[in-house]
């Protein structure tokens, strides 16, 4: 979005509008923006998830350090999605087919992860089907 804005501002000789023509500048700004999003908003999202008690429930298998993981917030992928998608939408050229494909794939896989966490946390479904067990046995 900012690329299109600064392309338009180039017509008015706006100072600094040519910087968005450089991939290195846009990549650096995307990196900094992603870091800021993940650090600042990440803490807030983790606190919110802990406050809502959307944490992991761990079966007691007697392993060392296992119970320390109890209450670890799930749905932390929201932080990762925000840190990827917001800088991409701000600094990438959105008419590029590769950028569009990356955005679609990221949103799609993020939706799958969200649905998985939602089922695990709210529906309390943790069953493994017979098909999954047969597949796991073949891998070993």
pLDDT at 52: 73
What is residue 5's predicted lDDT score, i.e. its pLDDT? 81
| pLDDT interval class at 83 (50, 70, 90) | very high
- pLDDT (tens digit, 9 = 90+) per residue, 97-128? 999 999 999 999 999 988 887 777 777 665 55
CA pair distance 70, 49, nearest whole angstrom: 13
Query: Is the four-CA dihedral 37, 40, 45, 50 of positive or negative sign?
Result: positive
pLDDT for the residue numbered 92: 92
Q: Can you give the C-alpha Rg of the chain in angstroms?
A: 21
pLDDT in tens, 69-78: 666 667 778 8
């Amino acid at each position: 979005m900012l690329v299109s804005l600064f392309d338009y501002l180039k017509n008015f000789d706006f100072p600094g509008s040519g910087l968005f023509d450089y991939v290195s500048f846009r990549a650096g700004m995307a990196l900094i923006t992603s870091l800021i999003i993940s650090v600042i908003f990440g803490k807030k999202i983790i606190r919110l998830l802990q406050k809502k008690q959307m944490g992991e429930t761990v079966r007691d298998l007697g392993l060392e350090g296992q119970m320390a993981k109890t209450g670890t917030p799930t749905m932390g992928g929201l932080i990762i999605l925000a840190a990827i998608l917001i800088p991409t939408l701000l600094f990438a050229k959105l008419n590029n087919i590769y950028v569009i494909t990356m955005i679609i794939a990221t949103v799609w896989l993020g939706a799958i992860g969200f649905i998985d966490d939602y089922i695990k946390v709210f529906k309390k479904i943790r069953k493994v089907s017979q098909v999954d067990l047969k597949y796991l046995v073949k891998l070993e």
